[in-house]
Structure 1
């Protein structure tokens, strides 16, 4: 799994939760919320951007994600991640990255 740096999302008055209306994504030991193309996670009383710090290639990923693949699509910045086996996968060149 990729790691994330501590990047507080400043001026974020909205409180995410089960009824906030934003898509939630299980991500390792926490839950991310999709909000305005970003992924936010709770951290010590504030919200952080939950983004990978490095390029993490998902090895041996034969499955091709897309509209009909059956995996949940998560809008993420300028691309779409797909939830698969507890990971967020994003197309990158000729392979898939682990977000």
Structure 2
């Protein structure tokens, strides 16, 4: 999975604990869900943190939804669910790994 580096040049809000946006641990950093997309701090600015391509999460038998117990994060036109340190998004009859 490739992460694109797209700077969000007009992002003036400083994300952090208590900022009101969902924090999602992602590898060695934290993404923040804001306005339907994810931001991460990078070299003094905020990047759009979006995967490219389609990566199916093989063997994921749990079906996410309102009662599943995992954090739902608005992302574009759908919800991602934070599970085991990554985000899952429904796609056809399986889950994608974001």
Q: TM-score, normalised by structure 1?
A: 0.94
Aligned to 2:36: 37
Q: TM-score, normalised by structure 2?
A: 0.95
Q: CA deviation at 1:3?
A: 3.2
Aligned to 1:72: 71
Equivalenced residues, count: 98
Q: CA deviation at 1:9?
A: 1.0
More strand by share: 2
What does the per-residue CA deviation read over 1:21-77, in whole Å, with 9 as the maximum and x for residues that have no partner? 211110111100111111000011100001001111101111111111111111111
Is the partner of 2:80 in helix, strand or coil? Answer: strand
Aligned to 1:86: 85
Is the partner of 2:96 in helix, strand or coil? Answer: strand
Separation in 2, partners of 1:33, 1:57: 23
Q: CA deviation at 1:98?
A: 0.4
Cα-Cα RMSD: 0.9
Separation in 2, partners of 1:14, 1:71: 26
Aligned to 1:52: 51
Is the partner of 2:7 in helix, strand or coil? Answer: coil
